[in-house]
Structure 1
Amino acid sequence: MTPRGVVTLGLEGREVRISCGPFDAMPQGARGLCLEARAARVAEAEWRLDVPDFGVPDPEALRSVLAGMLAAMRARPEDAYHIGCRAGLGRTGMALACLGAMAGIDDPVRWVRGTYDPAAIETSQQEAFVIGFADAVRPEASRQVVRD
């Protein structure tokens, strides 16, 4: 089993490579986020958040897990990182998009679908979750304010 794809995330002028796909395809030695409770290699996960297939997580739980992952990426950008669920599309794409939003990506849904997989973020509920999550983590100064 191999990862579905690899993306590069720019963090503070440094590039971090993240493989994505089924969690069980995590490359040896990678630091992984597992979103699938029944993954055979779940015990190897450095970060874990069980999310039902086609579902969405608790936003604060996801923010906490991704904050830990981002801190690790900033401290050790040369390490290998992996995000995975069962097939590596819905939950993986959603988590990757939210990670991108926390790192400053303006349109995380388009970023994930353009750099990882066009089928990522499988449901309308997952897409709405990412959009809401991105709005919540976007710095106040960059939010558009419309006044009458």
Structure 2
Amino acid sequence: MSERLQPGDTAPAFSLSDADGNQVSLADHAGRKVIVYFYPAALTPGCTKQACDFTDNLEVLADAGYDVIGISPDKPEKLGKFREAENLKVTLLSDPDKEVLEAYAAFGEKQNYGRTYLGVIRSTIVVDEHGKVEHAFYNVRATGHVAKLLRDLKVGA
């Protein structure tokens, strides 16, 4: 398991398929700040809430210079269904091999109801325009996370 990223670290490079099968890489966003968030599964209640919250605040974030990318182990076809079902505007990327999830320390041991298992650790990494980690938030809650992130980044009202 990778060590958690810290502010100042170089964000691991990636290139993954989006819901339409197009390759999207972190390098495509050079010169812009990028919010990369990791979530366990499309079309589940918590992940839907989080993706909708990001979509609802996408314009505010874009105006502040941030792009938003959501990454999960879901296949591109499922991401397409998720996007259509919820009218999502955020870029959703597929990481079925979990290589990017692991590089960002967003996959590892979790505990639920006293049981330990491997899974996606809901995380948000803010990458600056130079490809460095600005903020790293791990074990975030789906509900209220985007509002807290906006406060932490001093974005919006």
Flag the structure with higher strand content. Answer: 2
Larger relative contact order (CA 8 Å, sep ≥ 6): 2
> Fold-level match, TM-score > 0.5?
no
- Between Structure 1 and Structure 2, the one with more helix by share is 1
Q: TM-score, normalised by structure 2?
A: 0.30
